[in-house]
Amino acid sequence: MAPQQSGMPPDSPICRPAFAVWLYARGISREQAAGALDLSPITVQRYCLPFDNDDRRIPPPAVLERIVDWTGGEITPADFYPPHLSGAKSDAEAVA
């Protein structure tokens, strides 16, 4: 098992991609997101796993486009990479 980032509990959305935080903040289940994006719930779950999880996946370009459209541009391709690699705000800043 991979180590936790920043001492955050494993269920915390802080060490996860912004997409996970976006869904959580709106009370959208992975099943609902999967239906809206024409994906399987397990695929959505893999996109939302912590950055250090070996099962985490980054959506391919066509799916990224659907996510950007569905979220009204609030989630971008850069949001699927750790903040120190993408130059994006950290999830802690986004939640605050």
pLDDT at 92: 46
Maximal CA-CA distance, the chain: 35
- Rounded Cα distance, 85 and 48, in Å: 17
> Model's pTM, two decimal places?
0.73
| pLDDT score of 31 | 97
90 DSSP assignment: P
Token look-up 């996946």 returns 57
d(CA 84, CA 74): 19
Instruction: For the domain covering 13-95, report its CATH number.
Output: 1.10.260
Q: Can you give the residue ranges of every domain in the chain?
A: 13-95
Q: List alpha helices for 1-96, DSSP H.
A: 18-26, 30-37, 41-48, 61-70, 83-86, 91-95
Is the pLDDT at 6 greater than 50? The verdict is: no
